[in-house]
Amino acid sequence: METNIGYTPDMPPDNSEQGIELKLYNPNNEEDDISNGDLGEYIEPENSIKGSNDHSVVVETKTEKETPNGEVSGEKRDTWGNKAEFLLASIGLAVGLGNVWRFPYLCQRNGGGAFLIPYVIFMFIEGIPLMLLEFAIGQKMRGTAVRIWKDIHPALFGVGIGCLMVSLLLCMYYVIVIAWCLLYLFISMTKNLPWASEEVCSKNTEYNTLKDTRDYWKNNYTSSALNATFRNNSQAMYMIAKQKVDNFSDCCVIDPPQWYFYTEVLDISTEIEDYGDGLNGKLVGCLILAWVIVYLCVVKGIKSSGKVVYFTATFPYIILIVLLIRGVTLDGARNGLETFITPDWERLKDVKVWKDAATQMFFTLSLAFGALTAFASYMPYNNQCIHDGYTVVIINCATSMFAGVVVFSILGYRELKTGIAASEVGSGPGLAFMAFSDALLNLDVSPLWAILFFIMLILLGIDSEFGTLEAVIGPLMELGTFPKKMRKEVVTAIVAIVLLLVGLGMVAGNGFYIFQIFDDYAAGIALLVIAMFQCIGVAWIYGNERFADDIEDMTGSRPWIGWRICWKYISPIALFLILVATVYDLTEDTATYQAFVGCEQDPFSSKYLGSKTWTAGLEYPGWGQFLCALMVLIPTAPIIFFIIYRSGV
């Protein structure tokens, strides 16, 4: 049987196009296979043109005829049941937790509505071009990231390995957030939410008595009906009562949801080298459950995940709509929305605002993981991949705005009820498990809204997790990491168990600090490097115009010249600038993590003083610094190595 060693399933075997012919080197005359680890060699064909100024590398392939449904005869390959499955899976992968708990925070912090200007600009020069590139290259070459980039040029084999490694690292820690959400879902199934002050704080009654006394004297001295002497006495009593409230030595009553998250949910230790009480049994159980759910979603590959996405990718929108209707009808919602969207045009002069917009646009679309490329490879050859790319990007960005309206309408209500400004909100866990959880306490039938909110977060996390896991399983099997005869269900189970065991380190007393290493260093730099070399590989090595020809052959229309300019010039330059800024930020100071130290009135431990934010930046120990560097090097080192090794540098 003729072995497919090329990248264009539509090309006839007798192709004689000028350029360089790629053949797999096989000294043992065994059947060629990527799983043997051989990356192939270049052989100059007789009809090549010496001294050509064309920057593209033409790769001649030998393949069998393509079947009508887009598959290659002789090669068994899964396909999506229909286009809806592909779109829902891609949307589910792109739309994740960051849309709900990062974009609203960035928008509010960086000038409100003014932030949308750089955000939309980067959507056109970064988001859409890279999405179209990944969809088109996957649909054309019909393989995993490892296979595709190796076939374009052996020196780019490291790009595929980088996609595999960064997806593997993401799977390790992203599921931890799902475990937190599962725990919150279960504990919300009560009459009273457990992070309410009266439920979790032992000194709640005493604190409320002091607050009532303070409010009483405040009302007295601000009353115009009182004479001057009594007003002055009331003001003095108010100041005394206020001082007692402000200095009350119990963090729990000051911010119950934050106290509950750190001490009850995480059971956190004082620092990264303090193991605390060991493994958190509740989180271990939720972590196991999270992996069971993810495994069941991907156990049959896209045959199972393609059916699951009908629920996981759509139900979060139903919940968002329900929360939106409830949120905008609350008193104070308008103030929250004004906080979210009111433009501050002066903020556009700040370079950091533009960096945040570029970074958010890149990461929110799940680019450079290899998952989108793999998803597209299961589509028919003549699918309209360009239209699909537009659809996914637009829906993703619209979801971010939609989620921002939902979040800040409810935070506006919290501001009205508690006096805590809607602008006083962090991103990530700070928004979901603290600020928003606090806001939920003020809603009627609060357990119901909490249950809906955490179901939404779980579903957003689940489809992003199993989509990324798909980008791990395929390449691992293709590389021959497991025996060829081993069933995919078994391979997936083994990978899930290994990742579960690694994840146990993030549900111990110091687990949140380990989690921060992964969250801060595992993906950022690596994804930027991968995406930059993807643009270089397609536009400069494969050939920009040739790639446009391929898209025209698949879809019947040539991609807009603006996208071709972005692939070749604008996008890689933008990615390079973001990469430089990111590296600069990381190297400016020693790597630190945010340790929980408690409030100023009642520090969490005698070792560290409390703070207004309840956290303090501590330097990682030596082994922590090493792990931070390792997180960056694991995905990026293979890229550099194979470029040097295969380029003969």
Read off the tokens for 192: 């009273």
Inter-residue contact 540 to 57 (CB < 8 Å): no
Longest dimension (CA), the chain: 106
Does residue 160 form part of some domain? yes
DSSP character at residue 445:
T
Residue-level pLDDT at 186: 96
216 and 332 co-located in one domain: no
pTM comes to 0.84
Mark the binding-site residues for Na(+), compressed into ranges. 92, 94-95, 99, 396, 460, 463-464
Give the residue among 435, 247, 408, 383 at the shortest CA–CA distance from 328. Answer: 408
358 and 210 co-located in one domain: no
CA 349 – CA 340 distance, rounded (Å) = 19
460 and 501 co-located in one domain: yes
Over 38-100, what HEC string results?
CCCEEECCCCCCCCCCCCCCCEECCCCCECCCCCECCCCCCCCCCHHHHHHHHHHHHCCHHHH
Does residue 46 form part of some domain? no
233 and 373 co-located in one domain: no
Last residue of a domain, one of 247, 281, 307: 247
Read off the tokens for 449: 């809204």
Inter-residue contact 86 to 384 (CB < 8 Å): no
158 and 242 co-located in one domain: no
Residue-level pLDDT at 226: 61
215 and 304 co-located in one domain: no
* List of the chain residues with pLDDT < 50: 1-74
Inter-residue contact 597 to 605 (CB < 8 Å): yes
Give Cβ neighbours of residue 177 (< 8 Å, ≥ 6 apart).
Answer: 97, 429, 461
Last residue of a domain, one of 247, 277, 305: 247
233 and 272 co-located in one domain: no
271-298 pLDDT per residue, tens = 999 998 899 999 999 999 999 999 999 8
Last residue of a domain, one of 219, 247, 275: 247
Does residue 75 form part of some domain? no
28-51 pLDDT per residue, tens = 444 444 444 444 443 433 333 333
370 and 222 co-located in one domain: no
503 and 581 co-located in one domain: yes
473-527 pLDDT per residue, tens = 999 998 888 998 899 899 999 999 999 999 999 999 999 999 999 998 988 899 9
Does residue 184 form part of some domain? yes
Percentage helix, strand, coil, to 5, in the chain?
65, 5, 30
Mark the binding-site residues, compressed into ranges. 92, 94-95, 99, 396, 460, 463-464
385 and 492 co-located in one domain: yes
- How many structural domains comprise the chain? 2
CATH classification of the domain holding 100: 1.20.1740.10
Residue-level pLDDT at 585: 84
313 and 224 co-located in one domain: no
CA 276 – CA 282 distance, rounded (Å) = 15
- The three-state secondary structure class of 616 is strand
Does residue 311 form part of some domain? yes
Residue-level pLDDT at 215: 82
Does residue 64 form part of some domain? no
Give Cβ neighbours of residue 647 (< 8 Å, ≥ 6 apart).
Answer: 155
145 and 210 co-located in one domain: no
CA 219 – CA 286 distance, rounded (Å) = 48
Residue-level pLDDT at 362: 81
Provide the residue range defining the domain that includes 234.
205-247
Does residue 566 form part of some domain? yes
Does residue 58 form part of some domain? no
